């Protein structure tokens, strides 16, 4: 049907019906938040507050730990009650700053530059970097780094990622439906900053209303295009999206989009960019989808960063059945977490709850060599051979078969009839090959 | 502290597919061919197939018991093997032929290598090779006519009834057997009193092989042959089902059949290069075990390449070997040996066809 896409991929049921028509609701101010110092790729931030300090909403509480790092801000006003290790959406225990709210939500001072597009580029960048913005689609790469490519790497296209290809998630869909203007404003800022002539907004075909809405909005913007993309996972993966939108292939072995003159930002990040540049508003809240068959009232919720998942689920009136598994993010690439006392981070796009039955793990059986994983691998790898090499500690072969090019989208494990835990094997392979190459 | 939940690595959802579901779907896909065989050859087809299946399942269970590993006969893979062993057997064979074949297929073809997923050769074809070597007469002659009375798919009225030797040929041999015999100039010279007349009779028969009527017989199944290969139509129904369910993939069957098509068009005629009619390749596709082999045996997951490019090389290799065996080899049919020979090459093919990862190659500075 002329929809653009990439080679490979899978077609899981999207389960978006639970929450796609639920307008974004604001979560009432939580009593307590935990702000992890690491919510992004790069160095953890360094706390600049101590226990007992009073903080305002939006006040900086941690400094970036390096260039590839971001600051953290208080997401409610109140008192710092603890700086310790807390559960983290990635499953680890990570240093975090606990704030107990005073219920007042007193903000630091914000501005309103109506002529924000006329601000100097350096000022825009500094506002983005001060606001502590990182990619909100999941990976969490610091945005100010992404928009500062070296001088010899010009950018000609900015792609906004509105694909949201993970099942269940509808947060990006809702913000496209409800905050389309802000997304467009964010895109315009990005185009200005990196001096690119073309903006593309990529949306998957299962969101026709969003495509219509965004198309209508950019009708009078000759340099901005909205494209519908084929419904296929992982359509929203960076390299796959770039290929579908521009036919450009990002180099493998750790190549970056800027090498093909592109940067990609999530639509949610675009809103954060807009708010940071216009209002100097730090990234202290985001929209998250809370969904799953067993959730009583699946919702799209705008909540403060650091809100405990417990509060989010409470707001959705709990579950109908006993919880089998909690997933932070989408069901294909997200992390299973052990406790609802985990805080919402800047990169959490979903909180998915599975029942006992769906959480059951299948026994791994021997590889049939059926090649289904090979047929669908969007990176054109041979997952079964990688997993086998790792199983027998053959790191050289694992590397030769492309373990480092794997983006862990999980498509191979999804289609494997032998239920081989391909992503787990590949994860081990990545670590070991990395270790080997460092020596 | 609230409850603590179990964690596991992503992905957290999975397609509803498992080894048993794959295997039982293959069994289902083979069923139309079995029904066709029962229709054309009678219920003995069914019995022989059941003997094959039962002995395969029992052998697998016994060996797994001896190896003290979980017994997995319900996964359907032994059923598939037993069924395919029987499918490679002449319907006139005694009951113990499929039994011996299935025991060999499972014990030597599969379990000796470590069981499902580790065998090098297609177990059913290995068993066929073993049976042909051990009981050649049972396996390659004594063809039973179909209920419509045909073995070669040819009508005996196409040649004079006085040409006894030629009449014998077309009333007792399978289509591929006829095609092979016609290449033997010494043999065909005995069709009539003089050489010209003999050659004329041979040409008539050969033309009739690649005739629309014969091909129809081959397609629907009105020809002699082994149990499973009789009806191309029934096999294609099953193959279409498997392709639709993404259990077999197009690369191996299409490259295999395509290669056979091209090569038999070039070399298939009995009067030199390019002497074949365009229907001759069609004859070669539907005659013998090519459809069964290309869709159900060459595509055996365990013994075919995993890479996409590798599957094409594999299919082309099978095609070349099949045509070579049919044209110049001693056997009229080459599907089973060609697949077995290509099975050996699979690790090598895989090794040299590892795909390049998605993305431009990095330019070294």
Supply the DSSP string of A137-191, one letter for each residue.
SSS--BHHHHT---TTS---EEEEEE---STT--HHHHHHHH-HHHHHHHHHHHH
Identify from A351, A417, A430 which residue to disrupt to test chain B contact, counting B C-beta atoms within 10 A and taking the largest count: A417
Pairing relation of β-strands A285-291 and A262-266? unpaired
Interval A225-249: pLDDT, tens:
999 999 999 999 999 999 999 999 9
Residue A209 belongs to some domain of the structure: yes
Across the interface, of B13, B22, B359, the residue whose CB is closest to A239 is B359
- Output B2 or A25, whichever has higher pLDDT: A25
Kindly provide the ipTM of the predicted complex, given to two decimals: 0.88
Clarify whether residues A121 and A244 are in a common domain: yes
> Within this chain, do residues A137 and A260 fall inside the same structural domain, yes or no?
yes
Last residue of a domain, one of A262, A279, A296: A279
For residue A2, what pLDDT is reported?
64
**Last residue of a domain, which of A259, A279, A299?**
A279
Residue that finishes a domain, picked among A229, A249, A279: A279
**Does A118 lie in the same domain as A243?**
yes
Residues forming a β-bridge with A202: A161, A227
Beta carbons of B258 and B322 less than 8 angstroms apart: no
Question: What's the confidence (pLDDT) of residue B364?
Answer: 45
Q: Is residue A297 part of a domain?
A: no
Residue B361 binned pLDDT confidence (cut-offs 50, 70, 90): low
User: Is some CB atom of chain A closer than 8 A to the CB atom of B213?
Assistant: no
Contacting residues of A for B4, CB less than 8 Å apart? 338-339
What per-residue string of b and e applies to A80-101 under the rule 16 or more CB within 10 Å gives b?
bbebeebbbbbeeebbbbbbeb
- The reply to whether A258 and A393 lie within a common domain is no
For residues B226 and B48, the answer to whether their CB atoms sit within 8 Å is no
> Is pLDDT larger for residue A254 or for residue B174?
B174
| CA–CA gap between residue B208 and residue B201 (Å, rounded) | 11
The pLDDT value given to residue B244 = 94
Looking at the structure of chain A, the number of domains it has is 2
Q: How far is B87 from chain A (nearest CA, A)?
A: 22
Residues A392 and A272 in one domain: no
User: Is the residue at A411 inside a domain?
Assistant: yes
- Quick one: which of B360, B363, B357 has its CA closest to A262? B360
- Residue A83's alpha-carbon distances to A37, A46, A105, B356, in angstroms, are 10, 11, 21, 47
Instruction: For residues A273 and A406, state if they share a domain.
Output: no
Does B11 sit behind a cis peptide bond, omega within 30 degrees of 0 on the bond before it?
Answer: yes
Same domain, A265 and A377: no
Q: Quick one: A256 and A382 in the same domain?
A: no
A-chain residues near B308 (CB < 8 A): 371, 374-375
Note the pLDDT tens digit of each residue in A108-151. Answer: 999 999 999 999 999 999 999 999 999 998 778 999 999 999 98
Residue A75 lies in a domain: no
Residue A143 resides in a domain: yes
Same domain for A143 and A251, yes or no, is: yes
CATH (domain of A217) = 3.40.50.11540
> Which B residues 266-325 touch A at CB under 8 Å?
301-308, 311
Whether the Cβ atoms of residue B291 and residue B229 lie closer than 8 Å to each other:
yes
Q: Give pLDDT, residue B2.
A: 58
Residue B272 zone, left/alpha/beta (φ > 0; ψ -120 to 50; rest): left
- CB contact under 8 Å between B13 and A332, yes or no, is yes
> A270 and A140 share a domain?
yes
Which residues make Cβ contacts (< 8 Å) with residue B82, sequence separation at least 6? B49, B52, B53, B54, B55, B56, B57, B98, B102, B105, B106
Q: How many C-beta atoms lie closer than 10 Å to residue A14's C-beta?
A: 19
Taking the alpha carbons at both ends of chain B, their separation in whole angstroms is 54
Number of neighbouring beta carbons within 10 Å of residue B164: 11
Range of the domain at A391: 372-438
Assess if residue A416 is contained within a domain: yes
The answer on A389 and A272 residing in a single domain is no
Task: Tell me which residue in B2, B306, B355 faces A340 most closely, judged by beta carbons.
Answer: B2
Residues of A in contact with B119 (CB under 8 A): none
Residue A192: HSE in the Cβ half-sphere, 13 Å Cα cutoff? 20
Q: What residues are paired with A299 via a beta bridge? A: A290
User: How many helices and strands, by DSSP H and E, does chain A display?
Assistant: 13, 17
Residue with tokens 């579950």: A319
| Share of residues in chain A with pLDDT > 90 (%) | 89
Any domain includes A378: yes
Residue A269 lies in a domain: yes
Same-domain pairing of A258 and A379: no
């Amino acid at each position: 049907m002329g929809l653009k896409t990439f080679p490979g991929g899978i077609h899981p049921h999207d389960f978006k019906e639970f929450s796609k028509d639920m307008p974004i609701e604001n979560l009432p101010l939580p009593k307590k938040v935990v702000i992890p110092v690491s919510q992004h790729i790069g160095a953890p931030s360094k706390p600049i507050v101590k226990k007992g300090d009073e903080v305002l909403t939006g006040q900086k509480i941690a400094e970036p730990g390096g260039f590839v790092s971001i600051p953290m801000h208080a997401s409610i006003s109140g008192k710092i009650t603890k700086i310790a290790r807390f559960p983290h959406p990635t499953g680890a225990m990570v240093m975090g700053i606990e704030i107990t709210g005073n219920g007042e939500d007193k903000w630091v001072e914000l501005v309103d530059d109506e002529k924000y597009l006329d601000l100097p580029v350096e000022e825009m960048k500094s506002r983005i970097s001060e606001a502590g913005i990182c990619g909100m689609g999941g990976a969490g790469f610091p945005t100010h780094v992404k928009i500062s490519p070296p001088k010899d790497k010009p950018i000609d296209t900015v792609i906004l990622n509105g694909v949201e290809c993970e099942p269940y998630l509808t947060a990006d869909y809702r913000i496209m439906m409800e905050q389309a203007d802000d997304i467009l404003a964010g895109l315009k800022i990005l185009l200005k900053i990196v001096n690119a002539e073309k903006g593309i907004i990529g949306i998957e075909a299962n969101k026709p209303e969003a495509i219509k809405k965004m198309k209508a909005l950019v009708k009078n913007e000759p340099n901005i295009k909205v494209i519908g993309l084929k419904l296929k996972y992982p359509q929203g993966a960076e390299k796959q999206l770039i290929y579908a939108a521009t036919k450009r292939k990002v180099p493998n072995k750790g190549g970056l989009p800027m090498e093909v003159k592109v940067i990609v930002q999530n639509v949610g990040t675009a809103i954060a960019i807009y708010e940071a540049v216009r209002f100097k508003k730090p990234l202290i809240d985001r929209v998250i989808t809370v969904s799953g068959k067993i959730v009583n009232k699946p919702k799209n919720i705008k909540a403060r960063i650091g809100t405990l998942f417990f509060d989010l689920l409470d707001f959705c009136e709990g579950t109908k059945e006993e919880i089998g598994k909690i997933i932070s993010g989408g069901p294909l690439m997200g992390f299973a977490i052990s406790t609802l006392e985990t805080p919402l981070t800047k990169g959490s796009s979903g909180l998915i709850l599975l029942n006992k039955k769906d959480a059951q793990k299948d026994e791994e059986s021997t590889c049939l060599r059926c090649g289904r994983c090979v047929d669908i691998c969007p990176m054109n790898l041979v997952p079964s051979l990688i997993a086998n090499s790792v199983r027998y500690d053959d790191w050289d072969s694992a590397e030769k078969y492309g373990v480092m090019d794997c983006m862990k989208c999980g498509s191979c494990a999804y289609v494997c009839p032998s239920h081989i835990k391909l992503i787990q094997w590949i994860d081990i392979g990545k670590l070991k090959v990395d270790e080997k190459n460092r020596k | 502290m609230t409850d603590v939940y179990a964690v596991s690595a992503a992905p957290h959802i999975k397609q509803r597919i498992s080894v048993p579901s794959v295997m039982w779907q293959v069994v289902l896909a083979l069923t139309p061919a079995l029904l066709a065989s029962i229709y054309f050859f009678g219920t003995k087809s069914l019995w022989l197939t059941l003997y094959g299946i039962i002995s395969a399942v029992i052998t697998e269970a016994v060996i797994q018991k001896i190896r003290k590993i979980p017994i997995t006969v319900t996964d359907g893979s032994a059923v598939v093997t037993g069924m395919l062993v029987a499918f490679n057997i002449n319907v006139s064979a005694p009951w113990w032929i499929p039994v011996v074949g299935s025991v060999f297929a499972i014990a030597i073809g599969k379990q000796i290598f470590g069981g499902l997923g580790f065998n090098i050769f297609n177990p059913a074809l290995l068993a066929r090779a073993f049976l042909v070597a051990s009981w050649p007469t049972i396996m390659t002659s004594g063809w039973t006519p179909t209920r419509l009375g045909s073995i070669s798919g040819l009508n005996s009225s196409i040649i004079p009834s006085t040409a006894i030797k030629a009449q014998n040929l077309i009333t007792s041999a399978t289509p591929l057997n006829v095609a092979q015999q016609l290449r033997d100039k010494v043999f065909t010279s005995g069709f009539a009193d003089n050489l010209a007349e003999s050659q004329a009779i041979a040409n008539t028969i050969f033309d009739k092989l690649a005739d629309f009527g014969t091909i129809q017989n081959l397609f629907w199944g009105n020809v002699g042959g082994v149990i499973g290969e009789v009806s191309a139509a029934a096999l294609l129904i099953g193959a279409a089902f498997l392709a639709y369910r993404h259990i077999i993939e197009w690369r191996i069957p299409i490259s295999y059949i395509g290669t056979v098509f091209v090569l038999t068009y070039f070399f298939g005629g009995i009067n030199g290069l390019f002497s074949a009619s365009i229907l001759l390749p069609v004859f070669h596709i539907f005659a013998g075990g090519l459809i069964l082999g290309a869709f159900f045996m060459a595509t055996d997951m365990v013994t075919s390449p995993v890479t996409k490019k590798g599957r094409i090389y594999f299919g082309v290799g099978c095609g070349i070997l099949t045509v070579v065996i049919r044209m110049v080899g001693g056997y009229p049919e080459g599907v089973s040996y060609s697949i077995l020979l290509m099975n050996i090459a699979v690790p090598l093919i895989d090794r040299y066809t590892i795909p390049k990862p998605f993305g431009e190659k990095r330019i070294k500075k």
